[in-house]
């Protein structure tokens, strides 16, 4: 029923240093603290959205160093996640390629599934316009081609963009569940 608590397992993936932890902490605390340890953690966070209690389980993953398989996602991660946030930095071209590979990998893994897994692609560090290496158009096209949501945000500058990312993903997860 509508009063039931909803759980959503959300996995953040992307190259090192793109702001995955900044995004997670911004969502959890509304704050930006600047430096984040390189810890891999799962956080739980409950919120009331449209009168419903939503429990977000957020897995802030570490991208494996010297990764031999581009766009690596473990089986465990694929099984666990209800939805994916794929983060790159708009100033880091290589991180955009990682997201491109992650999209492919996730789409392949769920090939047999009726509906594509809910994915939102995020170009972070929008405040660093002078160092931009990936255009907004490129990001948007990648997301469009793979049926993903897309946002350019700055986790450093604002909370609202981060909130929009999580809400958009939640909406995609709800739709995917409704169709099951």
Please choose, out of 105-113, 120-128, 132-140, 165-173, the segment that lies near ligand GDP by the rule CB under 6 A. 120-128
Assess 99 for contact with ligand GDP (CB under 6 A): no
Give yes or no for residue 58 binding ligand GDP (CB under 6 A): no
Q: Does position 20 bind ligand GDP by CB under 6 A?
A: yes
- To ligand GDP, the closest distance from the beta carbon of 23 in angstroms equals 7
Cα-trace Rg, the chain: 15
> Other C-beta atoms within 10 Å of 93: how many?
12
Q: And the tokens for 148?
A: 């993903």
Residue 90 is a binding residue for ligand GDP (CB under 6 A)? no
Site size for ligand GDP, by CB under 6 A? 18
Integer CA distances (angstroms), 54 to 22, 109, 139, in order: 21, 27, 29
d(CA 99, CA 142): 9
d(CA 168, CA 84): 11
Block residue for tokens 């995917």: 176
Token pair 């972070």 in the structure block, residue: 124
Site string for ligand GDP, 123-152 (x = CB under 6 A): -xx-xx------------------------
Nearer to ligand GDP, 20 or 82 (CB): 20
Instruction: List interacting residues with ligand GDP (CB under 6 A).
Output: 14, 16-22, 34-36, 124-125, 127-128, 154-156
């Amino acid at each position: 029923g509508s009063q039931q608590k909803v759980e959503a397992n959300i996995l953040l993936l992307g190259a090192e240093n793109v702001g995955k932890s900044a995004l997670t902490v911004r969502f959890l605390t509304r704050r930006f603290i600047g430096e984040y340890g390189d810890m891999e953690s799962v956080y739980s966070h409950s919120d009331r959205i449209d009168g419903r209690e939503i429990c977000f389980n957020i897995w802030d993953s570490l991208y494996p160093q010297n990764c031999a398989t581009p766009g690596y996602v473990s089986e465990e991660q694929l099984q666990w996640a209800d939805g994916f946030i794929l983060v790159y930095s708009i100033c880091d071209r290589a991180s955009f390629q990682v997201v491109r590979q992650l999209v492919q990998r996730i789409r392949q893994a769920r090939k047999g599934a009726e509906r594509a897994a809910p994915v939102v692609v995020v170009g972070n560090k929008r405040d660093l316009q002078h160092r931009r290496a990936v255009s907004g158009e490129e990001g948007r096209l990648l997301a469009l081609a793979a049926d993903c949501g897309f946002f350019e945000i700055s986790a450093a500058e604002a909370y609202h963009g981060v909130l929009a990312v999580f809400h958009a993903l939640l909406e995609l997860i709800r739709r995917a569940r409704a169709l099951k």
